[in-house]
Amino acid sequence: MSISQLARNIAESPTLALNEEARLLRERGEAVINLGIGEPKNKTPIAAVLSSAARLTGGEVKYTPPDGAPSMKKAIIRYTEENYDRLVAPENVIVSYGAKQSLYNVLFTLLNPQDEVIILAPYWVSYPEMVKMCYAVPVIVTPLDGTFQPRFEDIERAVSGYTKAIIINSPNNPSGCVFEDEFIAKIVDFCERKHIYLIMDDIYHRLVFDGRHATPAYHFTKVPLEDSMVIVVNGVSKLYGMTGFRIGWAIAPRSLVQVMTNVQAQTTSCTSVVLQAAAEGALTGLQNVVENLRLAFQNNRDVIYQELKSFNGLRVQKPDGTFYILPDFRAFLPSAQARDSVELARFLLRKTMVVTVPGRDFGMEGHLRLSFAGTIKELTTAVERMKWALDPNSPNEIYIGDRKLIRDWM
């Protein structure tokens, strides 16, 4: 079988692979706790259900324009005005199958072979792979001070004549870090001066804790949207817990949206009108679902943070937002059980039935990403199991499901 070199070099999604492994274990009756998946547990908002049901009941399920249904774009325009304090036109908006496709459309539209895209570690696992799929080069900038907060100086040094874009994700997946306003302001100014596109992945922008606020990049520029270097990507998956609906969007200058529309027209043609109706219902319906999720995640964050703080040898930073935490497990690496974060995640799954995601895939070797989107009982039980497997000060025996296990590898 002949497979292209490009396709051969694209890495498997570690999150999806681990989710599938967890599903198979659960089907065998194993007491699996999945801290790998980034998925809120809430039911779909009723406004989204009713809106999509009305479209189905009417039977008018046909093509929409490639860039999105007019009513959906109107909802995004209103959402942008309310949450970004920025007026945009329908020609500045394109609706896609999830923020993931929106981001890929942006990169495909902007990049030529050998162009460079600066990506800040820790980063979402798909960023480098998407850049490579466009025959461009991901340039990773990693904080050297032990925090998850990038330094402007390091980004400035990484810029070259080939730099076409910088991707910013704040609140950040996988760390939960919210970048400081001063940092975002510097990046916006720098990108405008250097004519570098600033791609803002805002998929978690309202899931912030402790009174913090993820200030939109638009707040730091007075440049008209048509001349702006800022591109915003967002969607309904995380804020409304609508991961399966796969609706996202991008906001950009008209010239870019026009090309992205051509790209989308030649790939997926358009986005399902039923799914757009659901997203429209979420955006225009009561917004208490977002606040309820945010409060639940903040409570979960507090619980898992305190549990991890009692984990002997573990270092952990308190997330400012999202529903992820990225503890540092390097005190347990390398060991007889695991040489790196990939082997450590496999060891924990095999011994404790807890799914985690290796930090290597986020540019943070030695860390594991844990999702705290589940229940309090799942979080406390999962940390108890991991402590049993790794912390020599923890009890030597544990029950996982209805089986009593004894630690025999220390």
CATH number at residue 28: 3.90.1150.10
Query: What tens digit of pLDDT does each residue of 173-201 get?
Result: 999 999 999 999 999 999 999 999 999 99
Same domain, yes or no: 255 and 366: no
Same domain, yes or no: 347 and 385: yes
Q: What is the pTM of this model?
A: 0.95
Query: What tens digit of pLDDT does each residue of 232-281 get?
Result: 999 999 999 999 999 999 999 999 999 999 999 999 999 999 999 999 99
Picking from 251, 284, 317, the residue at the C-terminal end of a domain is 284
Residues in CB range of 217: below 8 A, 6 or more apart: 168, 184, 187, 188, 198, 200, 230, 232
What total of structural domains would you count in the chain?
A: 2
Same domain, yes or no: 391 and 279: no
Range of the domain at 214: 46-284
Same domain, yes or no: 210 and 130: yes
Burial (CB count <10 Å: 0-12, 13-18, 19+), residue 125: buried
Residue 16: pLDDT band with limits 50, 70, 90: confident
Residue 116 has pLDDT above 80, yes or no: yes
Same domain, yes or no: 227 and 244: yes
**What is the 3-state secondary structure of 175-212?**
CCCCCCHHHHHHHHHHHHHHCCEEEEECCCCCCECCCC
The pLDDT value given to residue 203: 98
**What is the 3-state secondary structure of 62-102?**
CCCCCCCCHHHHHHHHHHHHHHHCCCCCHHHEEEECHHHHH
The pLDDT value given to residue 77: 98
Same domain, yes or no: 246 and 312: no
CATH of the domain at 194: 3.40.640.10
pLDDT above 90: percentage of residues in the chain: 88
Same domain, yes or no: 17 and 78: no
97-105: average pLDDT = 97
Mean pLDDT of the chain: 95
Residue 307: pLDDT band with limits 50, 70, 90: very high
The pLDDT value given to residue 81: 98
Picking from 249, 284, 319, the residue at the C-terminal end of a domain is 284
Same domain, yes or no: 147 and 127: yes
4-33: average pLDDT = 83
Same domain, yes or no: 174 and 93: yes
Picking from 253, 284, 315, the residue at the C-terminal end of a domain is 284
Same domain, yes or no: 235 and 378: no
Q: Which of 196, 190, 83 is nearest to 139 (CA)?
A: 196
